[in-house]
Amino acid sequence: MFYRGPFARTRPAQVRCEAKMYPLPFVPVEARSGQTEADNHFLHTNVFLRHASGSSGEAEHYIETILTQAAVTKRRVWASSILFAQLRPSMFVPGRFDMLHDLTRYIRSLATLVTPDPNTMLRVARLRDAKWQRPAEVREADEKPRTMSFGDAIEIASALWVKEAGGVTDLKFLMFDDWSPSDARSGGRPSLLRLQDYAQDARADADVMAAVRLTRIQPQLQANSIPQSAPAG
């Protein structure tokens, strides 16, 4: 276990280089059924963190299947390089990984890391500038517009780069939805799993529309998928 607590466009050559930099052997785990081999996944940072700490609960089999395919069948999975900013040495607790270095080697051996370039970071800024708000007929009188967090915006923008520039049109954005009711009351960040509920003006904003159309799922026994569709209006 490891923790107590918790892009404008990257050039294709850069991504390929990062993928080849860490040709570490991976000890494969037993493959389990229930995961389509053809799936392409972008893993949110919180998926890696919970998996490494052994705190992913019933989703463990689902995540292990994806990582097994990445290790054994060389299927690509993507992750944002922002993940490494979360690996604070002072918070590391040995368990599944004996040392923090082992964890970083594990991630590098499995994932294609996406590092945001200026264009992607401009998209991050636009996603954060967007007013994520529910339609007037369903929101409470004192309900405030939400703002996407910096980390979530980088994760979404990076996944969109893989989908659009990388041509991975069937990409699934895998995450744990850490949204809570207190976020709604305070006008905090929107739920990534339910972005379409807060995209009142999606058709007027290309970046919001792209985020809403990105397939987002939680790594559960039966993944809850949000289809690639935008709200009407």
For the chain, the C-alpha Rg in angstroms (whole number) is: 18
**What is the reported pTM?**
0.75
- For 120, the domain range is 1-233
Give the chain's domain count.
1
SS3 of residue 146 by DSSP: strand
Name beta bridge partners: 92. 3
pLDDT in tens, the chain (233 residues): 444 443 333 333 333 333 332 222 233 333 333 344 558 999 999 998 888 887 777 888 888 888 888 888 777 899 999 999 999 898 888 877 889 999 899 899 889 999 999 999 999 999 999 989 888 787 777 788 889 999 999 999 999 999 999 999 999 999 998 765 555 555 578 889 989 988 877 677 899 999 999 999 988 654 454 555 444 44
Is the CB of residue 108 less than 8 Å from the CB of residue 114?
no
Q: Which helix (H) or strand (E) holds 77?
A: strand 77-80
